[in-house]
Structure 1
Amino acid sequence: MEHEESPEALIPLFKLERVLNQDQNGKRGGPALCLAERAAFPSDEEALTEFHSALVNVKNLGNNDIYRWYMASSRTTETSPPELKLNLIYPCTEKHIKKYSPQEVRMVTETPDIYKNLVRPYMQRMREEGRLNWVFNILEGRAEQDDILLRAKGQSADGQDEEFLLMPDLNWDRKTLSSLHLLAFPTRRDIWSLRDLKKSNIIWLKEMKEKILDATAKLYKTIERDQIKLYVHYQPTYYHFHIHVVHVMCEATATQAVGKAFGLENIISQLECMAGGPDASMAEATLTYHLGTSTDLWTEVFSPLKESTKD
Structure 2
Amino acid sequence: MHSLSNFVFTRVLNEDPILKTLTLLGTVPVITTAVTEGHATTNTTTTSDELEVQPIILLIEKTHFATQSSESDITRRISELLSTGSNDIYHWWNAIILEGKAHDPDLKMTVISPATEAHISKYSRQDRKMITETAEIYHKAVLPWIESQPRSRIQWVYNILEGLKEKENILLRDNDPDIGFIVLPDSKWDKRTLSSLYLLAISMRSDIRSLRDLKTEHLPMLKNVRDKIMALVPTRFNGIASDEIRMFVHYHPSYYHFHVHVTHVSAQVPGSTVGQSHLLDTIIDNIENIDPDYYRKASIRFALGVNHPVYTLIQSSLTGPQ
Q: TM-score, normalised by structure 2?
A: 0.68
Mapped pair 1:106 → 2:119 = no
Mapped pair 1:143 → 2:165 = yes
Preserved contact between residue 181 and residue 244 of structure 1 (Cα < 8 Å): yes
Q: Which amino acid aligns with 2:287?
A: L
Mapped pair 1:302 → 2:318 = no
**C-alpha deviation, 1:70, in angstroms:** 9.3
Higher strand share: 2
Q: 1:67 to 1:171 in 2, by over 3 A?
A: farther
**Structure 1 counterpart SS, 2:144:** helix
- Paired residues for 1:20-169 under 5 Å: 76-77=98-99, 79=101, 81-126=104-149, 128=150, 130-154=152-176, 161-169=178-186
- Paired residues for 1:271-282 under 5 Å: 271-275=287-291, 280=293, 282=295
1:289 maps to which of 288, 302, 313: 302
**Which residue pairs with 1:190 in the alignment?**
207
Q: 1:265 to 1:102 in 2, by over 3 A?
A: same
Mapped pair 1:258 → 2:281 = no
Preserved contact between residue 107 and residue 289 of structure 1 (Cα < 8 Å): yes
Preserved contact between residue 69 and residue 170 of structure 1 (Cα < 8 Å): no
**C-alpha deviation, 1:90, in angstroms:** 0.5
Q: CA RMSD in A?
A: 3.1
Q: 1:88 to 1:118 in 2, by over 3 A?
A: same
Preserved contact between residue 71 and residue 82 of structure 1 (Cα < 8 Å): no
Could you tell me which runs of 5 or more consecutive residues in structure 2 were left unpaired when the two chains were aligned. 1-16, 27-55, 64-95
Q: Which amino acid aligns with 2:214?
A: L
Higher helix share: 1
Mapped pair 1:240 → 2:257 = yes
2:225 maps to which of 186, 191, 208: 208
Q: 1:295 to 1:219 in 2, by over 3 A?
A: same
1:228 maps to which of 212, 237, 245: 245
**C-alpha deviation, 1:211, in angstroms:** 0.4
Q: Which amino acid aligns with 2:317?
A: L
Preserved contact between residue 260 and residue 289 of structure 1 (Cα < 8 Å): yes
Moved more, 76-85 or 178-187: 76-85
- Paired residues for 1:12-23 under 5 Å: none
Q: Output the CA distance in 1 between the equivalents of 2:59 and 2:174.
A: 26
Preserved contact between residue 199 and residue 281 of structure 1 (Cα < 8 Å): no
Q: Which of 1 and 2 has higher RCO (CA within 8 Å, sep 6+)?
A: 1
**C-alpha deviation, 1:208, in angstroms:** 2.1
Q: 1:98 to 1:41 in 2, by over 3 A?
A: closer
Q: Output the CA distance in 2 between the equivalents of 1:149 and 1:69.
A: 25
Q: 1:268 to 1:42 in 2, by over 3 A?
A: closer
**C-alpha deviation, 1:199, in angstroms:** 1.6
Could you tell me which runs of 5 or more consecutive residues in structure 1 were left unpaired when the two chains were aligned. 1-24, 27-36, 46-65, 155-159
Q: 1:212 to 1:69 in 2, by over 3 A?
A: farther
**Structure 1 counterpart SS, 2:304:** strand
